[in-house]
Amino acid sequence: MKYMGSKKSMLSNGLGEALDRSIGECNRVFDLFTGSGAVAWHVAQHYEREVIASDLQAYAVALAASVIERTEILNSRRWVDSWFQRAEDRQSGDFPSLARLFQNQLKDGGITEKASRAKELCSSTDFPITRAYGGYYFSPIQAVWLDTLRKSLPNNRVHRKIGLAALIIAASQSAASPGHTAQPFKPNETAGRYLMEAWMRDIQFLVRRAVDTLSKKRAMIQGKACVSDANELAKQVSEGDLVFLDPPYSGVHYSRFYHVLETVAVGKVGEISGNGRYPPSSERPRSEYSLRTRSKTVFDDLLRVLSEKGASAIVTFPADAASNGMSGEDVSVLSGQYFDIEEAKVSSRFSTLGGDKKHRDARQNATELILRLSPR
């Protein structure tokens, strides 16, 4: 799963230890900016604690829910075969046949002409993911599989959660874009080969592989994932709860970089525009944490509420200044107003949202703060 600032690597580099030291005496664990779901998954799988995960974006909640809302490992895969068969049954008519033919001819070269043909082909279909992103982030047949699998998700609650999360993961792994879905690769001499490579990825294989991985995970105690504003959900925290905070550090709303995954999660998209094929701004979640004029204020409000509730917290944030106007020093100062702090710093690699190889690399070394906050 390609995700900006994912905490997966940090779990073995300081964060896991901080969680282990903090969870012992806590009641529930809240993950208020769950993102890739890595921390929520980790806690749910390793500790007998209810995990409540939230995010403004539906795809992030779907990822978290696929593990934390389930306490049993799934061994049978018969439901997956049935799911794929229902999807294939929806692929009747001229367009899916033309999409398969296009895929078979993809290796013949001429990516510029191929991309133009793919865009023209996908613009004529009613499949929402294909119409919006086929010929850009996905080849026509990749997009068809995403559409038909999304439309054919199982009715069984557990199977549906795993299936949807697997689709999101497969979409992320196959998207023809440099790290995130802010913009697709261009079909030119420089990026054309990366576009071709991405379009050749087997969506069916990626979905099945993600299902296998997710099915082996499960929570020790059933939790809950929900679409919610972090500051609003914080009002439901109680004394003795532990809250994990990994607030946005980008001055650009995260929804710009994950709109394709959001479309897969919700199954529909409005009119799209721009180089990134963005849906209307009204359909993209906006966070005050990504506004330079509001980031410190809303974070201060969040910390104050958690302090009043008697909760403890773990905060992670880049040590240096971030583009949303906050820095690690700001986070420490604000936290110190309400909590006793134990601070650690770890080296990490963070995403620059794709980079451009001229002014910045796609991933850079950074120092990350880990703050353990104890109620006074």
Residue 76, pLDDT score: 93
- Token readout for 234 is 């914080």
- Token readout for 214 is 């997710």
- Token readout for 287 is 């966070």
The residues, ordered by sequence, that sit 6+ positions from 44 with a Cβ below 8 Å of its Cβ are 51, 67, 68, 218, 219, 220, 221, 223
Residue type (1 letter), 98: L
Residue 359, pLDDT score: 42
Domains present along the chain, CATH in parentheses: 9-71+221-248+287-375 (3.40.50.150), 78-215 (no CATH)
CA distances (Å), origin 234, targets 24, 52, 174, 231, 243:
21, 11, 35, 5, 9
- Could you write out the three-class secondary structure of 64-110? HHHHHCCCCCCCCCHHHHHHHHHHHHCCCCHHHHHHHHHHHCHHHCC
Question: One digit per residue, pLDDT tens: the chain, 376 residues?
Answer: 666 666 778 898 889 999 999 999 899 999 999 999 999 999 999 999 999 999 999 999 999 999 999 999 999 999 999 999 999 999 999 999 999 999 999 887 789 999 999 999 999 999 999 999 999 999 999 999 999 999 999 999 999 999 999 999 999 999 999 877 789 999 998 999 999 999 999 999 999 999 999 999 999 999 999 999 999 999 999 999 999 999 999 888 888 889 999 999 999 998 988 889 988 888 888 999 999 999 999 999 999 999 999 999 999 999 999 999 999 999 999 999 999 999 888 876 655 545 545 444 555 667 899 999 999 9
- Rounded Cα distance between 186 and 375, Å, is 51
Residue 358, pLDDT score: 47
Q: State pTM to two decimals.
A: 0.93
